[in-house]
């Protein structure tokens, strides 16, 4: 266990009797991966203390990070394996040997009777790099299945696909967060940082304090939008038209950077022609954003000496998310706001290891190092590291929703780690039915989530403070989480789980349980790939203040090139400085030029009609996280956010006859959810909002649409058609609410 010698200041409410040495680690929640310290408390347990030297959050933590140790308690987490009894049909405690034997037996049976692809594997964006790497390897080597994906597909896959198309490389932010306050203007699209990543809000505050301007695009006037110099409130599902309309005005106003376009891009004429079909008045009719606001946005963005566009789930979780992000990237390229200091496009990754989680093999089409599974050279390189024949590696499998949709059909058995799709997947009631239809389901998790409750075997695994491993934050900064406490008796690590299963399947020697040994193998597997970690080691990550190392970071002396086009110098291993800023000299395409991609607006997969006249959009709240499986077990967080709600405009509430706090039913073509009304003028009058953290009758994802982006395979979480009804029919009240005409709410 690595620790510092200097005591730190507690940030939790209780003051320990004795403050011990501090273990430097990172928050287990979002992709900021805020630095924190853990110190032992007299009488047992640990307490969070500030880690002011870590540059991302400088000691600041939100309530989720501050209360994270509550999840270490045996009172709220799993501490022994559970196996479903054939006699009673109920989960009951078992031994580890019995649980692992049963899983291995079912996997072997499924492969023998139905083939390897009848075995599915579903991972999570919260797994460490080591665990994500081992899970992908397990699927392809121990099982030989192509059917593996992870819940990060629901996070930033559209931004990743757009970044790959435009820049030849996807990294959430191609620059450090510290650059944001130093730019001149930020357009923040579909992100509510004040509630989803509170410590990051200071970067926007500092931007404005430095004289920069902030433009927020969101159909709701969120806490983040309240900080903006200009708030644009488009109709959900119209972000693509909005971006195209802004580019039209840039061209019409002569604000393009012709020198940059000529020297560093290709494909401009086609993209320009596509944008010019979206004139301002048309865009106003589509989006509800007034033309004067469109013009003011262009003025603010182009007048600044440097500027950025940052997107999040709002524009990305759509069936046209890749094109939508591509349109915002086109705006950056056309104005020279990319590949330059303090300018560029970036994606605000959501999940704790959403970036690293897909770089190293648990995504259906990728091998470690962000290599393509269809590339023969990539297959040969990784197969050599794994000690297998390249021909034995399966090809690409189904994306996350498509895999879940296939459960009980082609896919008979599922091993699931670190995800809760019963709550988090679109069309969740259907996904729950598919999970129930499986021949066999095994879940490894920290808590008994709603998905784990359906399993035939549940394995209790270690969590953030009980294990060492690396994660990669939204900046591409590879960080080392350090073990601070011992796990309870009866709990094993995910790496031990995979080793135990692999051993029973005849591949145990290929699956070490020491995270450092796994990371050393990951380094070799990633070497030469787009996400090259070969120059990063545990020793480097422990150096100095533990600030991490930005990938790509190749091992020196191997003659590789970084995305800046610079040959790595000869010399010893592990001294490449890492790459905090991408694309300053060249983009990661073959010719070094960024690619404009022509895109045009198209409607959402499901538009309002007479039967379902209102738009639903979903998102998060400050005190809860993702499916809520962990945060809903923390008393302080539950007190702050005890349950779901339906946010609606007063005019919409009046049409329905619903008062504040009264239960309202939201109905889509896929399901029904019931929650109290929250009446506010901060949302458009044609739109309702629901947070998605809860199961049961308030499950927002019972309603959402599984239509998939054709490139990223991202489901359309952020927009679908619904109707609103009183939870219990009342005499004289209309059955469905009608929205106002499509104007800004």
Q: What pLDDT does residue 567 have?
A: 40
How far is Cα 135 from Cα 137, in angstroms, rounded to an integer? 5
Give the model confidence (pLDDT) of 556-608 as tens digits. 754 444 444 334 443 344 489 999 999 999 999 999 999 999 999 999 999 99
Q: What pLDDT does residue 195 have?
A: 95
Between 256 and 16, whose confidence is greater? 256
Average pLDDT over every residue of 192-199: 95
User: With 70 as the cut, is the pLDDT of residue 351 above it?
Assistant: yes
* Total length of the chain: 745
> Which residue from 317, 327, 349, 361 is spatially nearest to 138, judged by alpha carbons?
361
- In this structure, of 18-32, 206-220, 567-581, 682-696, the range with the lowest mean pLDDT score is 567-581
Hey, what are 398's tokens?
């189904």
Q: What pLDDT does residue 734 have?
A: 40
H helix count then E strand count, the chain: 23, 30
Give the model confidence (pLDDT) of 240-252 as tens digits. 999 999 999 999 9
Average pLDDT over every residue of 408-432: 97
- What stretch of H or E contains 480? strand 477-481
- In this structure, of 192-201, 660-669, 692-701, 728-737, the range with the lowest mean pLDDT score is 728-737
Q: What pLDDT does residue 14 have?
A: 38
Give the model confidence (pLDDT) of 685-744 as tens digits. 999 999 999 999 999 999 999 999 999 999 999 999 999 998 876 544 343 444 443 333
Hey, what are 518's tokens?
């796994």
Q: What pLDDT does residue 55 have?
A: 95
The burial of 674, by beta-carbon neighbours within 10 Å (0-12 exposed, 13-18 middle, 19 or more buried), is given as buried
224-227 contacts at long range (C-beta below 8 A, 24 or more positions apart): 224/188, 224/191, 224/192, 224/193, 224/194, 224/195, 225/192, 227/194, 227/201
Residue 7 pLDDT level (bands cut at 50, 70, 90): very low
DSSP secondary structure string for all residues of 301-362: HHHSSSEEEEE-HHHHSSTTHHHHHHHHHHHHHHTT-SSBTTBEEEE---STTHHHHHHTT-
Listed in sequence order, the DSSP H helices in 607-739 are 635-640, 650-656
Q: What pLDDT does residue 556 have?
A: 78
Q: What pLDDT does residue 724 have?
A: 97
Question: How much is the mean pLDDT over the chain?
Answer: 92
Q: Tell me the longest C-alpha to C-alpha distance in the chain.
A: 81
Give the model confidence (pLDDT) of 61-109 as tens digits. 999 999 999 999 999 999 999 999 999 999 999 999 999 999 999 999 9
Q: What pLDDT does residue 275 have?
A: 98
- In this structure, of 5-14, 59-68, 460-469, the range with the lowest mean pLDDT score is 5-14
Residue 546 pLDDT level (bands cut at 50, 70, 90): confident
How far is Cα 608 from Cα 238, in angstroms, rounded to an integer? 13
User: With 80 as the cut, is the pLDDT of residue 144 above it?
Assistant: yes
């Amino acid at each position: 266990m690595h620790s510092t010698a200097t005591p730190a200041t507690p940030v939790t409410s209780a003051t320990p009797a004795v403050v011990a040495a501090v273990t430097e680690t990172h928050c287990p929640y979002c992709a900021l991966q805020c630095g924190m310290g853990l110190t032992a408390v007299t009488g047992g347990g640990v307490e969070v203390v500030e880690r002011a030297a870590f540059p991302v959050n400088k000691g600041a933590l939100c309530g989720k990070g501050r209360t994270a140790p509550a999840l270490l308690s045996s009172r709220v987490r799993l501490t022994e394996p559970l196996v479903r009894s054939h006699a009673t049909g109920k989960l009951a405690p078992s031994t580890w040997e019995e649980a692992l034997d049963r899983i291995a037996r079912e996997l072997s049976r499924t492969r023998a009777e139905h083939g390897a692809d009848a075995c599915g594997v579903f991972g999570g964006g919260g797994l460490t790099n080591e665990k994500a790497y081992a899970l992908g390897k397990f699927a392809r080597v121990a099982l030989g299945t192509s059917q593996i994906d992870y819940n990060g597909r629901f996070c930033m896959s559209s931004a990743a696909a757009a970044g790959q198309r435009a820049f030849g490389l996807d990294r959430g932010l191609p620059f450090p967060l510290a650059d944001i306050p130093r730019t001149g203007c930020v357009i923040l699209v579909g992100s509510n940082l004040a509630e989803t990543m509170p410590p990051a809000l200071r970067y926007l505050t500092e931007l404005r304090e430095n004289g920069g301007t902030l433009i927020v695009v969101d159909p709701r006037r969120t806490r983040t939008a309240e900080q903006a110099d200009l708030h644009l409130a488009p109709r959900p599902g119209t972000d693509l038209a909005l971006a195209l309309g802004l580019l039209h005005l840039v061209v019409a106003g002569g604000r393009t950077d012709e020198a940059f376009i000529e020297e560093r891009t290709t494909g401009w004429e086609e993209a320009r022609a596509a944008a010019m079909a979206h004139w301002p008045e048309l865009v106003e009719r589509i989006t509800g954003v007034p033309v004067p606001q469109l013009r003011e946005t262009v003025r603010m963005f182009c007048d600044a000496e440097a500027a950025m566009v940052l997107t999040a789930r709002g524009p990305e979780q759509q069936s046209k998310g890749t094109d939508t992000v591509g349109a915002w990237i086109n705006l950056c390229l056309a104005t020279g706001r990319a590949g330059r200091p303090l300018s560029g496009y970036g994606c605000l990754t959501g999940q704790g290891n959403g970036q690293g989680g897909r770089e190293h093999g648990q995504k259906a089409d990728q091998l470690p190092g962000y290599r393509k599974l269809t590339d023969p050279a990539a297959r040969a390189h990784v197969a050599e590291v794994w000690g297998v024949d390249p021909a034995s590696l399966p090809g690409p499998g189904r994306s996350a929703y498509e895999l879940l949709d296939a459960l009980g059909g082609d896919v008979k058995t599922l091993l699931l780690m670190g995800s809760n799709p019963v709550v988090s997947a679109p069309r969740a009631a259907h996904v729950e039915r598919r999970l129930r239809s499986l021949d066999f389901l095994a879940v490894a998790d920290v808590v008994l989530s709603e998905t784990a409750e359906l399993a035939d075997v549940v394995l209790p695994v270690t969590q953030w403070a009980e294990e060492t491993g690396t994660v990669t934050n939204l900046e591409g900064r590879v960080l080392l989480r350090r073990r601070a406490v011992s796990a309870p008796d009866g709990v094993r690590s995910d790496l031990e789980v995979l080793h135990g299963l692999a051993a029973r399947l005849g591949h145990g020697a290929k699956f070490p349980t020491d995270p450092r040994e796994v990371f050393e193998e990951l380094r070799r597997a990633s070497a030469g790939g787009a996400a090259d970690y070969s120059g990063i080691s545990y020793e480097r990550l422990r150096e100095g203040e533990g600030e991490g190392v930005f990938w790509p970071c190749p091992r020196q002396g191997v003659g590789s090139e970084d995305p800046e086009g610079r040959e790595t110098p000869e010399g010893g291993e592990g001294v490449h400085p890492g790459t905090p800023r991408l694309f300053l000299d060249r983009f990661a395409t073959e010719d070094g030029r960024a690619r404009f991609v022509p895109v045009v607006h198209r409607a959402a997969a499901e538009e309002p009609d007479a039967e379902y006249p209102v738009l639903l959009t979903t998102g998060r709240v400050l005190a809860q996280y993702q499916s809520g499986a962990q945060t809903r077990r923390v008393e302080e967080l539950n007190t702050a956010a005890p349950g779901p709600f339906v946010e609606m405009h007063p005019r919409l509430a009046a049409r329905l006859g619903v008062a504040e706090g009264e239960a309202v039913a939201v109905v889509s073509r896929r399901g029904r959810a019931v929650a109290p009304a929250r009446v506010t003028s901060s949302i458009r009058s044609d739109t309702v909002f629901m947070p998605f953290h809860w199961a049961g009758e308030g499950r927002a994802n019972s309603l959402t649409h599984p239509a998939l982006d054709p490139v990223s395979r991202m489901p359309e979480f952020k927009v679908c058609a619904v109707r609103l009804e009183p939870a219990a029919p009342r005499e004289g009240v209309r059955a469905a609410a009608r929205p106002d005409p499509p104007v800004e709410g």
